[in-house]
Structure 1
Amino acid sequence: MQTAADHHINTPLTRSPDHQINKSITRSTPQEITRFHDSRIPLKWTPRDGTGFAVSEVIWGGSTMKSVIAAAFVSLLVLGAAPVFGQEAERKDLQVFNDIANQVNRYTQLTIFDSISAEVIDGKVQLSGWVTMPYKRDDIEKRVRKVDGILSVDNKIGVLPVSQFDDELRFRIARAIYSHSLFWSYASMANPPIRVVVNRGHVSLEGVVNSNVERMLARSLASGFGAFDVKNLLKTDAEVREAMEPRKTN
């Protein structure tokens, strides 16, 4: 019997997994930065002068609220109230960030094996993360440069090396996770929320899951395939909500 996971990963990998999963990956409409939404590409908002707040967000989507909470990663760190003179600049940078998110969201070539981050400070953008193919790095930069209000773009996105070993790890780990009954609901989504980033045998699990049980299970399922190490960067929806709560100030 073919499982939901097989729908997303059902053939051996060659150069990269892109060809086999691109058809099953679509894009959601970007939402406001402070809302949960079903997404998976992490974009980090860094405030002016270290004040205000920082937000890490992901973009790609499912449909239900449960999917939304499971797939979104919005990490909010309150560092203090921004001074009045800096609030206008803060709002401008936040708008630039949202526009960048919109551009990245519309790029159809990103997969569960890619991870993109963006920081915006005073109109200066820094892109980072990893992609499986070099053209993605260039395409993303071109898209970001179209955003109004950007003064400069520092593209530090890395291209993952060509490696049959890495490709095998991606396939096996993704299949192990999404074939488990606890993750069937995620596997049936157009864009499953758990990302598997593999770089020279080192594995990182990224995204958001419903509970710590799911997080620990995903980590366990990702083990035993010969990876040098597995870094568990998954967040729970509870952690996301807590991170979004502003700290009380005296």
Structure 2
Amino acid sequence: MRFLKSFLFIAVIAILGFSSLNVQAQSFSDNEKTSRSEIERKVFKKILTMPYYGVFDNISFKVDGNTVTLFGKVRNAQNKSDAERSVEDIKGVRNVINNIEILPLSGFDDAIRYRIIQTFSRDGGSLYRYLQGVNPSVRIIVDGGRVSLEGYVATRGDYNLANILANGVSGVFNVDNNLIVEKERVR
């Protein structure tokens, strides 16, 4: 009986030891992937928590090794420099390439921005929900009367409605509808 207890005890210890070796081996082989996804998650969070980042700004990024490249268009130089500065502070990032474009100051473009917001909230039905909150899922970029809709919507109907309403706003020359329908997105 005593032999059986000691045999079971040794067997359990051996199984636990081998299972922990297996877990450690997996973590070493996935280290590169985890590191990249961790950097992507941190960059995303840093951008979203910038104090002046709003519905009229759009910043995207690409992680390549320890280099982060920033893209997009913002309304003020503060957002461009804040994005670069906050991403540089992330552990594992050695180089930041800042390709963010600062939109020119324009009363004409500002008027279009606010007319689009008014149109979406008044006539858009469900569209206004995409513009609310700290991190709106739809971004409205206006550059010289050209509108670019960026982000995500829930349905194809919302996608079409946003396109129709933005095209109908006075002063808009053309609309690039880059919205992604969540239900149709390839995961």
Bucket of the pairwise TM-score, normalised by the shorter protein: 0.7 to 0.9
> 3-state DSSP class of the match of 1:234?
strand
Question: Which of residues 95, 99, 113 is equivalent to 1:152?
Answer: 95
Q: Is the 8 A contact 1:116 1:157 kept in 2?
A: yes
Partner of 2:65: 122
Structure with the larger RCO, 1 or 2 (CA within 8 Å, 6+ apart):
1
8 Å CA contact 1:170, 1:196 repeated in 2: yes
Residues paired across the two proteins, number: 158
* Percent of residue pairs bearing the same amino acid type: 30
CA contact (8 A) 1:178 1:187 kept: no
Query: For the residues of structure 2 that align with 1:188 and 1:93, how far apart are their CA atoms?
Result: 30
How far did residue 90 of structure 1 move?
A: 2.6
- Per the alignment, residue 164 of structure 1 pairs with 107
Instruction: Work out whether residues 130 and 138 of structure 2, in 8 Å CA contact, stay in contact via their aligned partners in 1.
Output: no
- Amino acid paired to 1:173: I
1:42-100, CA deviations, whole angstroms, 9 ceiling, x for partnerless residues?
xxxxxxxxxxxxxxxxxxxxxxxxxxxxxxxxxxxxxxxxxxx9853232111111111
Matches within 5 A, 1:1-250: 87-180=30-123, 182-183=125-126, 186=129, 189-191=132-134, 192-224=136-168, 225-240=170-185, 243-244=186-187
RMSD, aligned CA: 2.0
Structure 2 unaligned spans of 5+:
1-27
SS of residue paired to 2:105: coil
| TM-score between both structures, scaled by the size of structure 2 | 0.77
Higher helix share: 2
How much has 1:187 moved relative to structure 2? 6.3
Q: How does the TM-score come out when normalised to structure 1? A: 0.59
Q: Which runs of 5+ in 1 are unaligned?
A: 1-84, 245-250
How many Å separate the matches in 2 of 1:110 and 1:179? 24
Cα displacement string for residues 14-44 of structure 1 (whole angstroms, at most 9, x for unaligned residues)? xxxxxxxxxxxxxxxxxxxxxxxxxxxxxxx
Amino acid of the structure 1 residue aligned with 2:162 = A
Q: Which has the larger radius of gyration?
A: 2
Q: Distance in 1 between matches of 2:160 and 2:139?
A: 15
